[in-house]
Structure 1
Amino acid sequence: MITVFEKHMQAQASILSGPQIKQIGAAATEITIPKKHVLLQAGEVCRVKIFVIEGFLRTYRIGDDGTEHIMQFSPAPTWTTEGESYTNATPSGYYIDALEDSKIMMWRKSDFDVLLSEIPALKTFSEQLISTNLHQSRNRLYKAISATAEEKYEDFVKTYPGILQRVPLRMIASYLGISLKTLGRIRQAQLQR
Structure 2
Amino acid sequence: MVSGFETYLQTHTNLSSEEIERASSLAMPRMLQRNELLLQEGQVCRYKTFVVKGLLRTFGTVADGSEHILYFSQEHSWIVDAESYNKQIPSSFNIAAIEKSEVLLWTKTDFDLLLEEVPELMTFSQQLILGSSYNSRQRLFLSLSATPEEKYNDFVQHYPDLLARLPLHMIAAYLGISIKTLTRIRHAQINR
TM over 0.5, shorter chain: yes
Separation in structure 2 between the aligned mates of residue 152 and residue 19 of structure 1, nearest angstrom: 44
> Residue in 1 aligned with 2:4?
4
Separation in structure 2 between the aligned mates of residue 101 and residue 165 of structure 1, nearest angstrom: 15
Report the alpha carbon displacement of residue 26 of structure 1 after superposing the two structures with TM: 1.5
Per-residue CA deviations over 1:29-77 (Å, capped at 9, x if unaligned) read 1111111111101001101000001111000001122110000101112
Which residues of structure 1 form unaligned runs of 5+?
none
Report the alpha carbon displacement of residue 129 of structure 1 after superposing the two structures with TM: 0.7
Alignment of 1:142-161 (within 5 A): 142-161=141-160
RMSD across aligned positions (CA):
1.4
> Residue in 1 aligned with 2:18?
19
Aligned residues, how many?
192
> Residue in 2 aligned with 1:91?
90
- Helix, strand or coil at the partner of 2:73: strand
Q: Which runs of 4+ in 1 moved over 3 A?
A: none
> Residue in 1 aligned with 2:52?
53
Which residues of structure 2 form unaligned runs of 5+?
none
> Residue in 1 aligned with 2:186?
187
Identity of aligned residues (%): 48
Per-residue CA deviations over 1:148-179 (Å, capped at 9, x if unaligned) read 11111111112222212111101100100011
- Helix, strand or coil at the partner of 1:165: coil
Separation in structure 2 between the aligned mates of residue 149 and residue 166 of structure 1, nearest angstrom: 21
Report the alpha carbon displacement of residue 122 of structure 1 after superposing the two structures with TM: 1.2
Report the alpha carbon displacement of residue 12 of structure 1 after superposing the two structures with TM: 2.1
Separation in structure 2 between the aligned mates of residue 17 and residue 145 of structure 1, nearest angstrom: 43
Separation in structure 1 between the aligned mates of residue 110 and residue 89 of structure 2, nearest angstrom: 18
Using the size of structure 2 for normalisation, the TM-score is: 0.96
Alignment of 1:35-74 (within 5 A): 35-74=34-73
Separation in structure 1 between the aligned mates of residue 12 and residue 148 of structure 2, nearest angstrom: 32
Separation in structure 2 between the aligned mates of residue 132 and residue 147 of structure 1, nearest angstrom: 22
Using the size of structure 1 for normalisation, the TM-score is: 0.95
